[in-house]
Structures are given as structure tokens and as C-alpha cells.
Amino acid sequence: MLSSWRITLLFFCFALSAVGVFSQDLGSSNKLFRASEPKSKSNPAPTKKTAPKKAAPKKPVTAAVKTKTPTKPKPTAKIPTTVPKSNIKSSTAAQKNKPSTNTPAKTAKNTKLPMVVNQPVKTPPQNKQNNDVVTRVGQPAGGSSEFDDLFEQGIADGNAARDARDYMKAEGAYLRAQSLKTKDSRAVYGLGNLYSDQQRWEEAERAYRTAIELETDSTDAHIALSYVLTQPIVGTNLSDRYSEAERLARRAIELDKTNPLAYDQLGVALELNGAIGDETQRAYRQAIKLDAGFALAYAHLGRLLRRTGETNESGEAYRNSIRLATDVPTMILVADVMQSQQRFLESEQLLRRALRDDPKHPTALFLLGRALTTRNEFDEAETVLKKSAEVSPNGFVAYMLLGSMYSRQSKFGKAEDSLTKALKVVSLNEKKRLAQEFEAVGDGFLRAGKSKDAARVYRQAVNLDAEKETLAAKLAQALNS
């Protein structure tokens, strides 16, 4: 009944950091990031309040169901100010005809979750243009029809590359499409989903904010941005972010009172901001009422009930979430919630199932690596995390977790190498977290009597977090040893 809402996510979406540092889940992004099907003027959207979906970028491969990328829509007037998704309203008739590429993927059954984990999606046959055709920014000499074709081809290429886990190619395709139609939200929404897949939260946040500027009445874009804001990022005021995430979720509910993702995300924002009372529980239960197969909402409810001491009901909710988690994105999202409750073994079972269907899913690989690391299964964890980094070379978390894992084994040289790779892709708000990892490696070198190595690593930590006074003192100690 809510099939149009499927959302993939991911970002693994997840703001997952080194083992034990952050254990919050990805929020309700499972169903929010999938590609939706185009709707024509003659065949308007069903009973949902949102208008037909655009040819938005494909859903992120998270815990949602696979979705097909719609075929190219008919060119028309300017695109409204919303983000293309399965549930996003378009402000013009033209957008109604556009296939949406970034719409949510569905969860265990029919509900879609917002951005986080990605699942491969089949892309319809591509149009006339080849990927190589688009070689420059701007409108081609052929006129608006060719211009529209190139834009649609860029969206289709981005979707296909994302499904194939070729993130660099997908990013290039979406950026190319965005340069062709700066007022069309589909390309920027696709970028947001792409960044969420790789847990590049700051870039995802910017993309979704731009999407909302383009489509102010987009339910999916509000949920997606709310989801990103519920990711724990060091160096930011998390309380303010969670409060904004709550406002965005409430706005999404205003836009679509029948959207289970919006209620689930409201519950996540409230819970992360310390509200674990009746309102939060009502939000999760309303999401389940709207979609009885919403596995992620059951997982969130189970976590909340456990926190409030209702252990029997909590166990039942968790069992329902595992039973209903039948697609890759949902399995990943539910596994992340379980890890937030230190239920690593149960999460591992779900993640292994997910990876059987999607062996290159970067978030599933990262989460499995984290679960294995907590159990000191370092050899397999190393293999899994290296694969995650290989799939998402511009991601940060896999490199950092590898560094943390090597430090735990006193392999400080390898730890430094991994953290140096993380340094190349670290975002502004992650620098302090990375500084902590470099500091731990420096401490290890110093204990081993390798003061020169310790000084080199401490310098990196100081460059990343100059405000931490103890780092300067440790650097001085290493230099004087």
C-alpha cells in the first residue's frame, strides 16, 4: 500500500565511527532513498498527498527494497523546489512525468525508509546518448530536447553506477546532470543519497538542504535531511542537530500525514535528544500502524522499550524486526540498531545475509567489520573493512576503524598507514575524532620506545585538533625523549 515510499539507505548509511565510539543507528533512512517510478499527467499519483515522482536518482542501497529507475520523463517547464524521490511532490507538470532516481526504497514490506543503506537497483535500458556523449557543461547545440536527453542520461548513468557500487562514476554523472539543470532537484538529491551511502554526512547534508531549497514541499527531502542530522558527528552541537531533525520530521508529517517514515524519523530525533517517553513511543507505533511490515520501526520501538524497562515487549518488537527484515537495506538498518544496543552477534547474522545478496555494500561491510572487531575476530574484520574501503575509497569510516583495530593489536605502523588514508578524505567535523586515533597510535609508539615515530604521529594529531592542550605536551615529550 505504501510501495511508492521505498527508501534505501546508508547512509550505512550510517555515521559509524571506530568501535565503541558511536553506537547510534542510522535513523529511519531505510525506505527513503530509492528510485521511484515516473508518473504521467494522465496517470497521477495514487491517493498519496505527494505529487508524482521525478526521475530522481536511484535510492541509496540501504535497508530498503530494490527499486527500478523510471524511464526518462517528458521535458517540460522548470522543476519545483523539492527533492526528487518516491514521495516528493513536484511543483510542475513536467516533474510529474520525470522518473525519480533518488526515491526511498521500501523496507521489509511496503514502507520506505530514509537514506542510509543502499541496495542495487535495476536500471531500465538507457536512452540514445552514451555516457561519453556528455563532455561539457551547458546546453548542447541541438536545443532543449537534446539538453533534456543529456540530463536524463546523466541521471540514468548515475543510478546505474550507484547500483554497481561505482561511486566515483555515479558522482560524476550526477554532477554532470546537475550542471545541465541547476533548478532540477533530482541530480542533487541523487548526490545526497550517494554521499549517505558512503557516510559522507556533511556532503549529504549540503545536498539535501539544496534539494529542499529547490522543492520546499518535498516530504522525502525533509526526512532525508532529518536522517542525516541524527548521525553523530564529533565537533558539532548534537543537541541542536537533533532538534532540527525533529522539526524536519514534524514538517514531513505536515506534508504527508500517512508517511510512516516521517513518524519513525520523528521518534528517532526525539529519542536521540533524550525524550524516551510517551510521545516517542507513539511516533514509532504510528509508523507501524501505517505500515505493519515496517521492520526498522519495530527495531526502534524495541530499543526504546528496552530503555524504559519493558523487556518483554522489547524482545517481541526485536523479533518482529528480524522477521520482517527480508531485503538488504532493511537488514542493514536493523543490524545497525542492534549494534547500538551491543547486540553484535544478532547484527552479524543479519549482515551476513545482506552481504550474500549484495557483497559490495559498503555499509554492510563496515558494520560487519565493526561487529567482528568487537569480538576480536581481527583477521576477518581486516578483510571485510579493506573491502569496504575499496568499494568506497572516498569514505572515511572504514579507514578509521581499520586504524583503530590495528592499534588494538599494537600494530601501530599499520594503524598509522590506515589513518593517513583517512586523513585524505576526512571532513571538517570528523577531524577531532581522527586526531584521537592518531593520538592513540602516538601513545603506542611512545610506550614502545619509538619516540621519533610518536612525534611524527602526534604532529598529525595536533594539526587536526590544535585546541587539545595535552597533544602539545605529548609532542614535546616525544621530541625530548
Determine the pLDDT at residue 144. Answer: 67
Does the structure show a pLDDT above 70 at 35?
A: no
Instruction: Give the whole-angstrom CA distance, residue 46 versus residue 124.
Output: 23
Looking at residues 31-38, what average pLDDT do you find? 41
Instruction: Give the whole-angstrom CA distance, residue 164 versus residue 173.
Output: 13
Instruction: Give the whole-angstrom CA distance, residue 387 versus residue 140.
Output: 40
Angle, vertex CA 405, rays to CA 194 and CA 436, nearest 5:
80
DSSP for 3-51 reads: GGG---EE-------STTT------S-TTTSS-B-B-BTTB---SSSS-
Identify the structural domains of the chain with CATH numbers, from first to last: 3-359 (1.25.40.10), 396-480 (1.25.40.10)
DSSP for 173-226 reads: HHHHHHHH-TT-HHHHHHHHHHHHHTT-HHHHHHHHHHHHHHBTT-HHHHHHHH
Compute and round to an integer the Cα radius of gyration of the chain. Answer: 22
Instruction: Give the whole-angstrom CA distance, residue 61 versus residue 6.
Output: 11
Does the structure show a pLDDT above 50 at 410?
A: yes
Instruction: Read off the C-alpha cell for 423.
Output: 586523513
Looking at residues 51-79, what average pLDDT do you find? 38
Instruction: Give the whole-angstrom CA distance, residue 91 versus residue 178.
Output: 18
- Predicted confidence (pLDDT) per residue in 430-461, tens digit: 899 999 999 999 999 999 999 999 999 999 99
Instruction: Give the whole-angstrom CA distance, residue 224 versus residue 396.
Output: 20
Beta carbons of 332 and 321 less than 8 angstroms apart: no
Residue 177 pLDDT level (bands cut at 50, 70, 90): very high
Residue 84 pLDDT level (bands cut at 50, 70, 90): very low
Residue 57 pLDDT level (bands cut at 50, 70, 90): low
- Predicted confidence (pLDDT) per residue in 324-372, tens digit: 999 999 999 999 999 998 999 999 999 999 999 999 999 999 999 999 9
